[in-house]
Amino acid sequence: MTKRIFRAIFGLAMVMMLAVVGLVLGMMYDYFSAEQRDELRSQAVYVGAGIQANGLDYLVQMDHPGDRITWIDKDGVVLFDSKANPANMDNHKKREEVIAAFQNGEGFSERYSTTLSEKTVNYALQLENGTVVRISTVTNSPITLFFTLTQPLAIILVAAILISVFLAFQTAKNITKPINSIDLEHPEMAVVYDELTPLLRRIAVQNKQLYQQMRELKRQKQEFDTITSNMQEGILVLDAQGDVLSYNLGALHLMGIEAPKEQANVFSLNRSEGFRRCVESALTGTHREENIQVRGKFFQLFANPVHQDDTLAGAILVLFDVTEREEREKLRREFTANVSHELKTPLTSISGFAEIMKNGMVGADDVPRFAGKIYDEAQRLIQMVQDIIKLSKLDEKQTGMEKETVDLERLIRDVVKRLEPVAQTKGVSMTVSAEPAYFMGISQVLQEMVYNLCDNAIRYNRENGKVHISLENKENEIIISVSDTGVGIAKANQSRVFERFYRINESRSKETEGTGLGLSIVKHGAVLHNAKINLTSELNKGTDVTLSLPK
């Protein structure tokens, strides 16, 4: 601030000084010009008197006059010139000063030479005999006059600059010292000259207003940050050029990006076609929705334009993670297709057997066998429908039962008792090693889970094979393990056995008469109880499935 005031004062002093110098030079120039005119007039009168008395002889006998003397007759012909041969000179009747002399008795003119920086002053006087005598003198131009005074002016200028610098510095220091000592937070406490009092009063009022505004803005920002930071949805606020003004952590998390730098453009965050269409539409004033895919996840993007005083000020982007919904839709479509296929098989068998019997193509002895086939397919169909209903309830987490304390050891032994006839038919032996354990869960779902694991272990076992069920009560979890000595599962298929209707071998599945939904029910039951499933298997050696139930 001191430098700016110093420069202003110094500049003002220099301008004033240069103006004074220019004014003085102008006055001097005008003074010398007037003196010069009077001198030329006196000289012309004196020469004219000599011509009147002696004519041309007077002019010829003059001893090298300093100024140029020209004698012109009434027709403009040059009769005599002290600097040139009259015979070689043109007619002077049209010269400015000559014309004025013929008309008014005297004439005055000036002609400049920019090349020589000189000025020629001409004065013409009409004599009594009608002729005109002209006196011409060469004088310096204002620029030449200025340069002749350069040395004394330079000395004066340097002295004036030094004095101006000193005075400007002292003045600036005296002005800025009280201002620099002002405490802007408490301006009313400052000791300054009277001229600054209104300024200090204004600063105090502005401080109060700014404090209130900053406190309100801070409160609003905290509210906005609190709301948006706890939202799972992503929010991006853009200006009219598409630069990111604000965002929440949800947007960074969903889009898998780092915090954008200042003035980052929104298209640097995502360059997909759907994202660009949505943003460009909002920045032109039109609402748009798009479904986009980022890093394997699905998002629904809403882009809304923001108007302020009928002017497009920017846009707001809102991102919703719809990956789960899309996956559910995909599963529903696959489930519908699989259900249609799986239901078609037993219905086709039932329809075929019934048609044969209807047409009388079955003998009396074969009727029980055909009826048995129809019954078996109907039971398979009923079992499949029941499993589908169970899966639907588990999908929606609607089992119709509240959680209760379940005695897992008793539950396992009940399941084993139910499956013993099936195991004996297959020649499979079942053993149990269980510790007392109680778990807060849905008894029916837990029973279905253990039943399906054991049922699969029996179905896909060998003759004279073994199935072992263990129950371990650990500090933080309860472990239920079902292992068998069956055919095992290849590593390529282990990640898919929990999918609905997935069958490793279609021919073997038909032999075992399974619905393909058992392990899928186990998986959904585990999700319902926040349990983990671990499957280890080796071809021709057996399979071990472990359930980890958190306490």
Structure tokens at 438: 């109680």
d(CA 47, CA 41): 10
pLDDT tens series, the chain, 551 aa: 555 555 655 566 566 666 665 665 556 556 556 777 788 888 888 888 888 878 888 877 876 667 888 888 888 888 888 888 888 888 888 888 888 888 888 888 887 755 445 778 888 888 888 888 898 888 765 555 555 556 676 787 778 778 877 777 777 677 767 666 676 676 666 666 667 777 777 877 888 888 888 888 888 877 777 776 667 788 888 888 888 888 877 777 777 777 777 778 888 888 888 888 888 888 888 888 888 888 778 888 888 998 888 788 888 888 888 877 777 777 677 666 666 656 666 777 777 777 777 777 777 777 787 787 777 777 767 766 666 666 666 566 555 567 889 999 999 999 999 899 889 988 999 999 999 999 998 888 888 889 889 988 998 898 889 999 999 999 899 999 999 998 888 887 777 777 655 655 544 444 445 556 667 778 878 888 889 999 998 888 899 999 999 98
Task: Provide the edge-to-edge strand list for the sheet that holds 234-239.
Answer: 244-247, 234-239, 311-321, 297-308, 288-294
Same domain for 451 and 383, yes or no, is no
224 is in which domain, residue-wise? 189-230
Alpha-carbon span 234 to 248, nearest angstrom:
6
Whether 243 and 220 share a structural domain: no
Count the domains in the chain. Answer: 5
Structure tokens that stand for 98 in this block:
């000559």
Q: Are residues 268 and 313 in the same domain?
A: yes
515: nearest Cα among 390, 355, 413, 363: 390
CA proximity to 302, closest of 251, 230, 228, 244: 251
Report the alpha-carbon distance of residue 77 to residue 80 in Å, rounded.
9
pLDDT of residue 508: 43
17 lies in the same domain as 75? yes
Q: Are 428 and 458 in contact (CB under 8 A)?
A: yes
* Alpha-carbon distance values, 474 to 228, 388, 438 (Å): 41, 34, 11
State the angle between helix axes of 367-395 and 323-358 in degrees (0 to 180), rounded to the nearest 10: 170
The confidence score (pLDDT) of residue 256 equals 76
Alpha helices (H) in 94-141, listed in sequence order: 96-104
Residue 436 gets which letter from DSSP? -
Instruction: Compute how many other C-beta atoms are within 10 angstroms of the C-beta atom of residue 116.
Output: 12
- Is residue 235 within 8 A of residue 316, CB to CB? The reply is yes
CB 533 within 8 A of CB 522: yes
Residue 532: CB partners within 8 Å, gap ≥ 6? Answer: 526, 547, 548
Which of 321, 342, 367 is where one domain is finished? Answer: 321
Is the residue at 26 inside a domain? yes
Spatial distance between the Cα atoms of 238 and 244, rounded to a whole number of angstroms: 5
Element (H, E) at 77: none
In a domain, 154, yes or no: no
Same domain flag for 429 and 468: yes
Backbone angles phi, psi at 75, to 5 degrees: -90, 5
Q: What is the CATH number of the domain that holds 367?
A: 1.10.287.130
412 in the same domain as 550: yes
Region of residue 401 (left: phi > 0; alpha: psi -120 to 50; beta: else)? beta
pLDDT of the residue at 407:
93
How far apart, in whole angstroms, are the C-alpha atoms of residue 140 and residue 39? 16
Please indicate, yes or no, whether residues 406 and 550 belong to a single structural domain of this protein: yes
What 8-state DSSP symbol labels residue 86? G
Q: Is residue 305 part of a domain?
A: yes
Contact 269, 255 (CB under 8 A): yes
Question: Are the beta carbons of 428 and 392 closer than 8 angstroms?
Answer: no
Query: 451 and 369 in one domain?
Result: no
Total-model pTM: 0.41
Q: What is the CATH number of the domain that holds 111?
A: 3.30.450.20
The pairing of strands 542-550 and 477-484 is antiparallel
DSSP string, 461-510: SPTT-EEEEEEEE-SSEEEEEEEE-SS---HHHHTTTTSTT--S-HHHHH
- Angle among Cα 375, 377, 383 to the nearest 5 degrees reads 100
Query: Could you tell me which of 41, 43, 69 has the C-alpha nearest to residue 56?
Result: 69
CA distances from 388 to 306, 339, 348 (A): 48, 8, 19
d(Cα 460, Cα 523) in Å, to the nearest integer?
Answer: 19
Q: Is 344 within the bounds of a domain?
A: yes
**What token pair was written down for 39?**
């001198």
Distance between CA atoms of residues 319 and 300, nearest Å: 6
In a domain, 174, yes or no: no
Same domain, 297 and 215: no
* Three-state SS at 73: coil
Of the residues 128, 148, 168, the one at which a domain ends: 148
- Per-residue pLDDT at 27: 61
357 token code pair: 């019997």
The rounded distance, in Å, linking the Cα atoms of 190 and 199 is 11
For 212-296, strand residue ranges (E) read 234-239, 244-247, 288-294
Does 427 share its domain with 537?
yes
Distance from chain centroid for Cα 340: 50
Interatomic CA distance for residues 527 and 478, integer angstroms: 15
**One domain, residues 504 and 479:** yes
Token pair 């599963």 is found at 331
- Are 70 and 136 in contact, with CB atoms under 8 Å apart? yes
Edge to edge, the sheet with strand 532-538 lists 429-434, 466-473, 477-484, 542-550, 532-538
pLDDT of residue 544: 93
C-alpha distances in Å from residue 519, one per residue of 135, 323, 327, 440, 516? 131, 24, 19, 22, 8
Within a domain: 69: yes
Query: Is residue 235 domain-resident?
Result: yes
Residue ending a domain, among 297, 321, 345, is 321
* DSSP class of 242: S
Answer whether residue 173 is part of any domain.
Answer: no
Residue 119 has a CB neighbour count (10 Å cut-off) of 19
How confident is the model at residue 502, as a pLDDT? 60
Kindly state whether residues 426 and 526 are assigned to the same domain. yes
